[in-house]
Amino acid sequence: MPTVRVTDKDFQSVVLESKQPVLVDFWATWCAPCKVVAPVLEELSDTYAGALTVAKVDVDESRRVAAMFRIRSIPTLMLFKDGEPIQAVEGALPKQHLEELLAKWLPELAATARSTKLNVPQLFELLKKGRPATIIDIRRPFDFARSHLRGALNVAADKVEDVVRGLGPRGLAVLMCRTGEESESLAKSLSEKGLSVVSLEKGLLEWEGAGHPTFSTEEEEEELAKATKGSRS
């Protein structure tokens, strides 16, 4: 999908009212670094087609928008989500750097980029921001009961496809196991079928090693009971 040219007239409708994130490139025809980053943005637009819009604003032609967001240097790349600017970087950054930034800012793009892995920092950020994601743990029920991520589903590997298909528009499915090996293989297989699935890289071991919390089934049930009791009192 090609990048979209945006002006003062349609910035509101194309960027601020967009239902999906928009990466805006503030540029100018005379800017040499802008020409360097242009083909990179075209590639990113193709890679994330359907999940991210890449728009271009010529600061000389669209002075009102450039002034509104206080653009001082070009190229400036500004990411918008739900009508608000959430991040910005300046300069002609290489593709790998931009992909790393997008993965950090929008972890849910991992599946769209044909990647089947999500690392621990990305998953933590995803959950912290309340982004739609369903964690599916494919370990044995006994192991799951002892320690798992809050709210995770325990699903046998041969049943995961049915569960993922049943999620519908509820967002990204994140598969996990103890080391990440089995869940990665399964995520690749399901991704090839067009499902929005990634695996947690290095699995539960990496999550716990980073100091993030896990819960037993008993602990979750106790928390639920307390919450239910509190809502009734």
Structural domain of 223: 108-232
Structural element, H or E, at residue 209: helix 203-209
- pLDDT < 50 stretches in the chain: none
Residues 14, 115: one domain? no
Instruction: Give the number of residues written for the chain.
Output: 233
At residue 228, the pLDDT reads 67
Using only the alpha carbons of the chain, give its radius of gyration.
Answer: 21
d(CA 146, CA 139): 11
Residues 61, 145: one domain? no
Residues 227, 118: one domain? yes
- Write the CATH number for 153: 3.40.250.10
- Write the CATH number for 97: 3.40.30.10
Residues 113, 223: one domain? yes
Residues 101, 190: one domain? no
Pick from 105, 126, 153: which residue ends a domain? 105
Its sign, for the CA torsion 86, 175, 173, 148, is negative
* Cβ contacts of 110 within 8 Å, gap of 6 or more: 103, 117, 118, 122, 172, 198
Residues 73, 123: one domain? no
Alpha carbon 67 to chain centroid distance? 29
At residue 62, the pLDDT reads 96
The domain total for the chain is 2
Pick from 62, 86, 105: which residue ends a domain? 105
Residues 80, 113: one domain? no
* Cβ contacts of 79 within 8 Å, gap of 6 or more: 21, 22, 23, 24, 85, 86, 87, 88, 102, 105, 106
pLDDT digits (tens, 9 = 90+) for 117-139: 888 988 887 787 676 689 999 99
Residues 225, 137: one domain? yes
Residues 138, 192: one domain? yes
Residues 25, 72: one domain? yes
Alpha carbon 60 to chain centroid distance? 32
Judged by phi (left if over 0) then psi (alpha if -120 to 50, else beta), residue 151 lies in: left
Both tokens assigned to 48: 């994330």
Residues 158, 126: one domain? yes
Query: Are 104 and 95 a contacting pair, CB within 8 Å?
Result: no
Residues 206, 182: one domain? yes
pLDDT digits (tens, 9 = 90+) for 52-94: 899 999 999 999 999 999 999 999 999 999 999 999 999 999 8
d(CA 47, CA 172): 17
**Residues recognised as catalytic:** 31, 34
Pick from 89, 105, 121: which residue ends a domain? 105
pTM: 0.56
